[in-house]
Amino acid sequence: MRAKPSALLVGAAVLALAACGTGDAGGSSTASAGASASSSVSGSITVFAAASLKESFTAIGTAFEAEHPGTRVTFNFGASSALAQQITQGAPADVFASASPTTMQQVVDGKAANGSTAFARNVLEIAVPPNDPAKVAGLGDLGRAGVKVVLCQPQVPCGALAQTVLGKAGVTVKPASLEADVKSTLSKVQLGEADAALVYVTDVTSAGDTLKGIEIPADVNAATTYPIATLTGSKNPDLATAFVTYVLSEGRAELTKVGFQAP
Amino acid sequence: MTRLAEQAGGIAEGNVPNAPRAARRGTGNRPLWPLAPFAAAGVALLALPVLGLVVRAPWLRMPELLRSEGAVEALRLSLVCSVSATVVSVVLGVPLAWVLARGRGAWVGLLRGVVTLPLVLPPVVGGIALLLTFGRNGLLGRWLYEATGYALPFTTAGVVVAETFVAMPFLVVTVESAFRSADAGLEEAAATLGASRLTALRTVTVPLLLPSLGAGVVLTWARALGEFGATITFAGNLPGTTQTLPLQVYGLLESGDLDGAVGMSLVLVVVALGVLLLLRDRWLRPGGIGGGLA
């Protein structure tokens, strides 16, 4: 008799742990996926998306859920490279939207996706605090001594792009910090701790009045293409495909609103 | 429960007819079986991940990984910062512990709550708090920046501040309890024999304190060495300046270099194990404080 409550507790603990590890296994839909199958998808999916997609994808997710009642889209935003790593290590994700073809390729190479579709294009911009304390007017000022510049670390797409742009412009920057993703890079400027950062033009748009953007001339700027893919490990592939289709169609408007270009 | 109570009763009363049975069951030689699955699950949860790290470790590549410029730099920076943070913690934390142990009144409890808050605060929250206080737009950092043009974020000194913020409470808590158990009466006795208060503190209390101070120093240093959240939030992430080992591990993992990340993690595991093994007998044994007095 004494062993019974403890056995029950162990059972409950195991169940609780198992519940943590699995996503919603719903999605018994048999209809073919796609934007037209709006009423036939159900359940929930988890979308792993680049940090720079935070505002646009959050809005797209809300609109998607409204159009497909009974569905739930959960997001995990982060550095594309970190997300790719998590996905190839078996993280329970249904869709991956990356900020560079390179990080998407890691996921495809890891057999976690069968190919991808480009859905957006993004370029860099210089972000400075609203009062621009270091009087930054262009890329050349980022190399000036005493100007505190933060960049994304070179492993993440925005960091790789920053290296390309600075290389093209022939500017040598001694960064104050190499941040983990574009949003933490941005926050250092918003807090006024850094004088300038190289971030996506879409991040500057989404940040509103909290910072000022300085355009980079097209001849030295560089672009990155955003691919999206459903993942082979998805427990709800119908809903995952429906979401990807939505991003590629109706979702375009939200992307354009914050400054993404067509791929 | 009833049988347990029976046993306990038997032992407590020294019940003669039951004595052999009580001795056999009550000496702790036999584990309490219903607890065993939980204990085993606990061991598995704590020990298996380290095993997983060891199994996955790129042993053949370790020499190459350890010699890489990034690894040497991060290790050097980690040691410099964690030792500095420990020194600052001792210099500021021991007097603070003394105040908490000997102070009287409601303000002591309040003060203790305030200074041990970082112990239970998520480190990343600590990092934001530090930015808003010591950043160049921060509460105090603004004055420092206006007066000197100096700002702590993105500097090695900033790493030391972040590590001290997170680690010092360990020292304060450990040393305070030692101050408490060191009898204040002994200090008074020394005083009545003509010793000044400072002499009494130095010759009576401090020697009683040393073992706990040692344990506190080890805990504080280990916590500082492993600090991640407050450091990356407050001090940023730049190789050679603010990128300590845990930050480098995170960066390597993000860039898909799992071998590098596991290799560097192993360095931290070895350092941690080394600390535990070296000081096990002196500081970390149950009752080690008493043992250390000898």
What is the overall mean pLDDT for chain A? 86
Name the 3-class secondary structure at B1: coil
Q: Contact A45/A73 with Cβ under 8 angstroms? A: yes
CB B161 within 8 A of CB B141: no
Least confident of A12-26, A107-121, A177-191, A238-252: A12-26
Q: Which residue of B has its CA nearest to A4?
A: B34
- pLDDT band of residue B276 (cuts 50, 70, 90) is confident
A82 with B253: Cβ contact below 8 A: yes
- Separation between Cα atoms, residue A229 and residue A113, nearest integer Å: 7
**DSSP readout, chain A?**
-THHHHHHHHHHHHHHHHHHH---------SPPSGGGTTT--EEEEEEEEGGGHHHHHHHHHHHHHHSTTEEEEEEEE-HHHHHHHHHTT---SEEE-SSHHHHHHHHHTTSBS--EEEEEEEEEEEE-TT-TT---SGGGGGSTT--EEEE-TTSHHHHHHHHHHHHHT-----SEEESSHHHHHHHHHTTSSSEEEEEHHHHHHHGGGSEEEEPPTTT--EEEEEEEEBTT-S-HHHHHHHHHHHHTTTHHHHHHTTPBP-
Q: How far apart are CA B294 and CA B48, in angstroms?
A: 37
Q: How many CB atoms lie within 10 A of CB A38?
A: 15
Tens of pLDDT, residue by residue over B153-178, are: 999 999 999 999 999 999 999 999 88
Tokens 């792993």 correspond to A48
Phi then psi dihedrals of residue A134, to 5 deg: -95, 10
Of A6, A106, A192, the CB nearest to B34: A6
Are the C-beta atoms of residues B166 and B224 closer than 8 Å to each other?
yes
Q: What is the pLDDT, as a whole number, of residue B277?
A: 79
Return the higher-pLDDT residue of A1 and B262. Answer: B262
Rounded to the nearest integer, the mean pLDDT of chain B is 83
**Rounded Cα–Cα distance for residues A83 and A182 (Å):** 14
Q: What's the pLDDT at A28?
A: 37
Distance from CA of B225 to the nearest CA of A (A): 20
pLDDT computed for residue A27 by the predictor: 37
Backbone φ, ψ for residue A7 (5° rounding): -65, -40
Taking chain B, what is the end-to-end CA distance rounded to the nearest angstrom?
41
Residue written as tokens 């979702």? Answer: A251
How many CB atoms are closer than 10 A to CB B88? 19
Residues with Cβ within 8 Å of A136's Cβ and at least 6 positions away in sequence, in order, are A126, A128, A142, A147, A195, A196, A214
Q: Which of A6, A179, A191 sits opposite B237 (nearest CB)?
A: A179
Give mean pLDDT, residues A2-23. Answer: 43
Do A150 and B256 lie within an 8 Å CB cutoff? no
Taking a C-beta distance cutoff of 8 angstroms, is the pair B94, B175 a contact?
A: yes
Task: Give A-chain residues touching B132 at CB under 8 angstroms.
Answer: 191
A81:B254 CB<8 A: yes
Q: How far is A167 from chain B (nearest CA, A)?
A: 19
Of B34, B135, B255, nearest to A191 by CB-CB distance is B135
* Rounded percentage of chain B residues whose pLDDT exceeds 70: 84
Better-predicted residue by pLDDT, B278 or B77: B77
Per-residue confidence at B283, pLDDT binned at 50, 70, 90? low
| Element spanning B178, H or E | helix B156-181
As a whole number of angstroms, the distance between CA A129 and CA A209 comes to 9
Q: What is the pLDDT of residue A7?
A: 45
Contacting residues of A for B250, CB less than 8 Å apart: 180
Closest CA–CA distance from residue B149 to any residue of chain A (Å):
10
- For residue B99, report the phi and psi dihedrals to the nearest 5 degrees: -60, -45
Beta-bridged to residue A50, according to DSSP, are: A78
Interatomic CA distance for residues A104 and A225, integer angstroms: 10
Task: Please indicate whether, in this complex, the C-beta atoms of B237 and A79 are within 8 angstroms of each other.
Answer: no
Per-residue pLDDT tens for A53-91? Answer: 999 999 999 999 999 999 999 999 998 988 998 999 889
Q: Burial code of A102-124, b = ≥16 C-beta within 10 A, e = fewer?
A: bbbebbbebebbeebeebbebbb
Q: How big is the A-B interface in CB pairs under 8 Å?
A: 79
Buried b (16+ CB within 10 A) or exposed e, A220-255: bbbbbbbbbbbbebbbbbbbbbbbbbbbbeebbebb
Q: B26 or B35: which carries more pLDDT confidence?
A: B35
Indicate the residue type of B73: E
Residue B276 or B252, more confident: B252
Q: Which of B1, B137, B256 sits opposite A191 (nearest CB)?
A: B137
Strand partners, A122: A224
Nearest to A130 by CA among A211, A214, A213: A211
B53 interaction partners in chain A (CB closer than 8 Å) = none
Share of chain B above pLDDT 90, in %: 51
The 10s digit of each residue's pLDDT in A182-191 is 989 999 999 9
User: What type of residue sits at position B234?
Assistant: F
The whole-number average pLDDT for the span A160-173 is 95
pLDDT score of B15 more than 50: no
Which three-class secondary structure state does DSSP give residue B176? helix
Q: Which two tokens stand for residue A85?
A: 């790593």
Q: Which chain B residues have a beta carbon less than 8 Å from that of A175? A: 238
Q: Which residues contact A146 (CB under 8 A, 6 or more apart)?
A: A134
> In sequence order, which residues have a C-beta less than 8 Å from that of residue A253 and are 6 or more positions away?
none
d(C-alpha B4, C-alpha A188), whole Å: 60
- The confidence score (pLDDT) of residue B274 equals 81
Examine the pLDDT at B25 and tell me if it is beyond 80. no
